[in-house]
Structure 1
Amino acid sequence: METDAFATVRRQLGGISRRDFIKFCTVLAAGMGLPLSAGARIAEAVVTAKRPPVIWLSFQECTGCVESLLRSSHPTLEHLLLDLISLDYSETLSAAAGHQVEEAKADSIKANKGRFVLVVDGAVPTKDNGIYCKIAGKTALEILKETAPHAGAVIAMGSCASWGGVAAAGSNPTDAVGIVDLLPKQKVVTIPGCPPNPYNLLSTVLYYITFKKLPELDEKGRPKFAYSRIIHENCERRPHFDAGRFAQQFGDDLHRRGACLYKLGCKGPETYANCPTVLFGETGAGTWPVGIGHPCFGCTEEKVGFKTPLFTLANIKELSPPVFFSEAFPDKSGISPGIKVLAAGTAGMAIGVGGTAALAALKRSDADDEGDEKGRGDGKEV
């Protein structure tokens, strides 16, 4: 028998069926690496638990992290704010302003000590006591130090909050750092990205309110359900890498046909994130940088994004087989795709043959490039 709470949530979600609601929660559970049975627990937590208070602080940032959240659709922003969490403070989204909103933040911290979720986007300047970012007469450094100790969970949203990002790039004139460096005694969940995928944040918060603890994190504080695999593994251009087909420059024939972007500086082989599998903006397949023809920037890696020159070749950490095998270009040999998938299913073959072919192709391509520079190359693409 359906409870009043379930019925209320179903109405708020536009009248979806109870079965579809449970299926939605089950998909969330699977996305977080949980058993499918956890979907029921998530559903129960959503409809019965008191909405967790959230305080969102913004420091040296571009508002891109908030903008990405605005474009989430499951849940929608209004369902998130009105039904799932209680957003007690946000400079961008709060209806109140000035003294009124600052008072609301202070009241929430006092009433919810040890229970509220603190989300921070943006880096914190530390030069000259942090005077390069002030809100309501206080520096970002002061605001963080007086808020974070009272939080039940602290989440760094985006690369800037995680480890400095854009603000800390280059000469770093304000000595900007991520909040992890400023909160050495607290566990901070880092959700890097520029911007990060909003579902990585939503899943983390939902996990916290369901199980009363944080999800499993890697050594950099990132949720493993989102950052445990390198982008290269699930990239739609991976078949081209295994086949040794690389775009040599933007706009060439192989680039237009969707070939691998490794030689254009793609950092996918050394970047951990779920960008190829959990897309942005609800606009379908291919809506991420590599999908539209731009190399991965490595923004989820502390020492890659904003640190490594864009066209520097990535450090290939491992050559594991992809999760899904697909045709790089339409096959004309008469061999059925099914047979190729079956053959490629052997991990040793995928690594030994595919990986070796890719590296050999890279070497041939480099040799061709050197030949062109000396006037003796044939100018052919790989």
Structure 2
Amino acid sequence: MALPTLNKQLQASGISRRTFLKFCATTASLLALPQSAVADLATALGNARRPSVIWLPFQECTGCTEAILRSHAPTLESLIFDHISLDYQHTIMAAAGEQAEDARRAAMKAHKGQYLLLVDGSVPMGNPGYSTISGMSNVDMLRESAKDAAGIIAIGTCASFGGIPKANPNPTGAVAVSDIITDKPIVNISGCPPLPIAITAVLVHYLTFKRFPDLDELQRPLAFFGESIHDRCYRRPFFEQRKFAKSFDDEGAKNGWCLFELGCKGPETFNACATVKWNQGTSFPIESGHPCLGCSEPDFWDKSSFYQALGPWEWYKSKPGKGAQKHAGKNS
């Protein structure tokens, strides 16, 4: 029996056509698609049947899973996550042990060449015993699960670049997913944790166009990683005026001045935190009074102190974020 389309599932859930179209319009905007694409997005997505998704958790803190589970729904994130066939995800699945592994292998067999593989956490290469699932090392499970996947989404900085487990001295020999799998299209959605809506948007794009969106040189979706935090920060005018907070409780901090001298990594960090924000669009770290840590960039943990300025103000004045030259868009 054929699985119902997304349209039918939404109707059965009491979600109106109007709400669905608003979701499509918002997603098209986030992906920098033209307004004319909204109708095509709604048609293709509405007629799509539940795709099989396998989510592997490796060396991680479960923060990436928590981010997507705590997203404000149903208009965006859970609208999609309620209607994909999430056939394997340790944190939220009822099965455990061999029963869980049987479900993973059954999904791989039933949807060979069509399922999407999501991975969060780095992969330890120093010793297989550092991280295992049902007696299988992370690297062996990754290779087995990736073999017949249509594509891979690396969720979070650990899966994308190695993250905190890879930080010096890297005791487990942690590596990124792309260091192991080189023959599949991979999208990196970095961040510690990543923005839930970036994950959703990439899934929607894939369901609609059967390919991943345009990516930057680090395989991240350009729609979310094409500009630096600095480029979109509401404190940018204070930066240009050279008005900096000197401590977290001085008058500058109280007046919302720039946090550059307190170590903000916004000029060298690419992500959409400043525009999409967190907690139902309420805020993001800089708006809450804390400098950006640069968590969506490779090796962020081993760079200069979180509370040390990046460099002289003159290096960044009236310029886009360092390395913000135009990215050559490409898709997988």
The correspondence for 2:285, drawn from 285, 289, 314, is 289
User: What is the match of residue 60 of structure 1?
Assistant: 59
CA distance, structure 2, for counterparts of residue 257 and residue 196 of structure 1: 29
User: Which runs of no fewer than 5 residues in structure 1 stay unpaired?
Assistant: 323-382
Matches of 2:33 and 2:257 in 1, distance apart? 34
**Is 1:165–1:306's contact at 8 Å kept on the other side of the alignment?**
no
Map 1:99-118 to 2 at 5 A.
99-118=98-117
How far 1:11 moved relative to its partner? 5.2
CA displacement at 1:50 relative to structure 2: 1.1
1:160 matches 2:161: no
AA aligned to 1:45 is A
Q: Which residue does the alignment assign to 2:37?
A: 38
The structure 2 residue matched to 1:270, chosen from 247, 268, 271, is 268
Higher helix share: 1
Deviation, 1:184, is 2.4
| Cα 1:310/1:89, change in 2 over 3 Å | same
Distance change in 2, residues 1:5/1:32 (3 Å): closer
In structure 2, the partner of 1:125 is 124
What is the identity, as a one-letter code, of the residue corresponding to 1:298? G
Shift of residue 188 of structure 1?
Answer: 1.4
Structure 1 residue 306: Cα displacement: 4.4
TM-score (norm 2): 0.89
User: For the Cα contact (< 8 Å) 1:26–1:37, is it kept in 2?
Assistant: no
Deviations 1:220-252 (A, max 9, x none): 000000000011011111111112110011111
Structure 1: distance between partners of 2:183 and 2:151: 13
Partner of 1:172: 170
SS at match of 1:107: helix
C-alpha distance in structure 2 between counterparts of 1:76 and 1:35, whole Å: 19
Q: Which stretches of structure 1, 4 residues or longer, exceed 6 Å deviation after superposition?
A: none
- Alpha-carbon deviations, 1:159-203, whole Å to 9, x = none? 000111111112111111111111123331100000000110100
* Cα distance in 2 for residues equivalent to 1:44 and 1:132: 46
Question: Does structure 2 conserve the Cα–Cα contact (< 8 Å) formed by 1:299 and 1:306?
Answer: no
Report the structure number with the largest CA radius of gyration.
Answer: 1
Q: What residue is the counterpart of 2:255 in the other structure? A: 257
Distance, in Å, in 2 between the alignment partners of 1:184 and 1:252 is 50
Structure 1 residue 313, shift from structure 2 partner: 2.1
Q: For residues 230 and 125 of structure 1, what CA distance do their matches in structure 2 show? A: 30
Aligned match for 1:302, one of 291, 298, 304: 298
SS of the equivalent of 1:292 reads coil
Counterpart contact for 1:268–1:314, Cα < 8 Å: no
Shift, 1:30, TM fit:
1.1
SS of corresponding position for 1:131: helix
Letter in 1 for 2:94: A
Aligned mates of 2:301, 2:294 — CA distance in 1: 5
Matching of residue 239 in structure 1 with residue 237 in structure 2: yes
Shift, 1:19, TM fit = 3.5
Aligned length in residues: 313
User: What is the CA RMSD across the aligned residues, in angstroms?
Assistant: 2.0
Is the counterpart of residue 248 in structure 1 residue 249 in structure 2? no
TM-score of the two chains, using structure 1 as the length reference: 0.77
Deviation, 1:57, is 0.3
Q: Sequence identity, in percent?
A: 42
Q: Is the 8 A contact 2:304 2:310 kept in 1?
A: no
Report the residue type matching 1:274 in the other structure.
Answer: A
CA contact (8 A) 1:190 1:222 kept: yes
